[in-house]
């Protein structure tokens, strides 16, 4: 079957996804990105959703082999932001017109159930915005209480759908647990984000097709496909960074297959390539997550090397994003950008 016949099929199978991920010819890639853009237009229009992210703690009890802030990395300057500092960063996000805040951290139990609930409630009292939590795996009871406190979304990537790779990269976690957590979060009505890392040791295109299909099976509301980038002082410090093309192809195939999900052009993509965000937006992405972590903390949240979002102020970054949006004839949404499924 030709690529254009494949792209017009009603239902794509696993082997169809693999065939699309294998595309190498320039004209086939263009067909793929054009189709992804068409589907994005249909489900998302020409709006980009911005999510302001605050990385409020880099303490972590886990030891993911790829991650720069893993517990065993003794060369990290660890920090925790206070509720006041988090609220200040939230006000910057709100004043920039962004209506979703993402609170992200390592798995840091110092922010216990009640402390996170207090943060959620304080934000909701002061600001009319959606809250996404990205705190790693916590207890079901904690998830429940945070939902009741007003959190809207939870981001927990499955990282890889291949249980044996999952085991290789996470010494203390197992794949089945991770999936059960994602299912539980869905069951208590969180809008859920998940997704993978591309370029992990031993990962194949079959695995990546499985990742895309798993996002459908789990009925996730947001799916993030981001490149592996090596981080200093980790067991994977010498593993090569992922190439950009496979990430863009994965995003495009995911858009075509999953349709009504939010797909971010990730920060990691712009680390790989200065035009990463633009390329991502042209390959099916409809979300950008600018960092609002204060500068004095940001440089210690190095989950991978050369993470950008450097020293320029959020306003400068936003005006760069504005230029990009204009160039692509896209505009920023002023809504909270809830799930496309509700
Ligand atoms: N601790 C939380 C959230 C912080 S990490 C959690 O585990 O869910 C957020 C994401 O960063 C992870 O899900 C992972 O996909 C990504 N990440 C971490 N290290 C990375 C690396 N070296 N390259 C690419 N992505 C990485």
Instruction: Give pLDDT tens digits for 67-82.
Output: 999 999 999 999 999 9
Which of the residues in the chain have pLDDT under 70? 308-313
Which atom, in ligand 1's list, is nearest to the CA of 134? Answer: 3
Our CA angle for 42, 48, 136, nearest 5°, is 105
31 CA from centroid of ligand 1 (Å): 31
Pocket test for ligand 1, best of 70, 110, 197 (most atoms within 8 A of CB): 197
The closest residue, in CA terms, to atom 25 on ligand 1 is: 228
For residue 159, which atom of ligand 1 is closest to its CA? 15
Query: How many whole angstroms separate alpha carbon 120 and alpha carbon 179?
Result: 25
Ligand 1 centroid from CA 136, angstroms = 9
Please tell me the distance from the alpha carbon of residue 310 to that of residue 304, in angstroms, as a whole number: 14
pLDDT of amino acid 264: 98
pLDDT at res. 318: 87
pLDDT of residue 308: 67
| 225 CB near ligand 1 (under 6 Å) | no
Q: Could you tell me the CA-to-CA distances from 127 to 26, 97, 100, 216 in Å, in that order?
A: 46, 11, 10, 32
pLDDT at 170: 94
Q: What angle do CA 113, 119, 125 make, to 5 degrees?
A: 130
**What distance in angstroms lies between residue 303's CA and the mean position of ligand 1's atoms?**
6
Sheet with 100-105, strands from edge to edge, namely 52-57, 100-105, 130-134, 153-155, 191-198, 222-227
Position 312 scores a pLDDT of 63
Characterize the bridge pairing of strands 47-50 and 331-332.
Answer: parallel
Please give the structure tokens belonging to residue 233: 């002082």
Which among 65, 67, 195, 293 is the best mutation to test ligand 1's pocket, defined by most ligand atoms within 8 Å of the CB? 67
- Output the pLDDT for position 72: 98
C-beta of residue 149 within 8 angstroms of C-beta of residue 103: no
């Amino acid at each position: 079957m030709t690529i254009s016949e494949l792209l017009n099929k009603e239902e794509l199978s696993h082997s169809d996804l693999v065939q699309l991920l294998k595309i190498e010819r320039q004209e086939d890639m263009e067909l793929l990105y054009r189709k992804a853009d068409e589907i994005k237009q249909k489900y998302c229009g020409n709006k980009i959703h911005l999510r302001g992210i605050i990385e409020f703690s880099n303490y972590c009890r886990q030891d993911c082999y790829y991650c720069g802030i893993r517990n065993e990395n003794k060369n990290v300057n660890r920090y925790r932001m206070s509720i006041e500092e988090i609220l200040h960063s939230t006000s910057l996000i709100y004043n920039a017109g962004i209506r979703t805040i993402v609170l992200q951290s390592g798995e840091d139990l110092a922010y216990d159930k009640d402390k996170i609930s207090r943060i959620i409630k304080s934000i909701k009292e002061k600001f009319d915005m959606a809250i996404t939590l990205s705190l790693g795996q916590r207890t079901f009871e904690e998830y429940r209480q945070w939902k009741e406190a007003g959190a809207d979304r939870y981001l927990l990537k499955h990282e890889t759908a291949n249980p044996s790779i999952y085991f290789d990269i996470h010494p203390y976690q197992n794949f089945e647990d991770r999936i059960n957590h994602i299912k539980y979060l869905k069951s208590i009505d969180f809008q859920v984000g998940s997704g993978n890392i591309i370029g992990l040791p031993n990962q194949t295109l079959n695995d990546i097709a499985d990742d895309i299909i798993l996002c459908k099976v789990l009925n996730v509301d947001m799916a993030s496909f981001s490149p592996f980038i090596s981080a200093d002082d980790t067991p994977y410090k010498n593993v090569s960074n992922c190439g950009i093309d496979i990430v863009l192809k994965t995003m495009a195939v995911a858009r075509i297959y999953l349709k009504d999900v939010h797909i971010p052009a990730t920060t990691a993509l712009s680390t790989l390539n200065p035009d990463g965000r633009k390329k991502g937006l042209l390959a099916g992405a409809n979300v950008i997550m600018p960092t609002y972590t204060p500068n004095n903390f940001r440089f210690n949240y190095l989950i991978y090397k050369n993470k950008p979002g450097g020293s320029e102020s959020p306003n400068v970054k936003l005006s760069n994003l504005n230029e990009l949006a204009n160039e692509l004839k896209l505009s920023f949404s002023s809504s909270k950008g809830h799930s496309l499924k509700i």
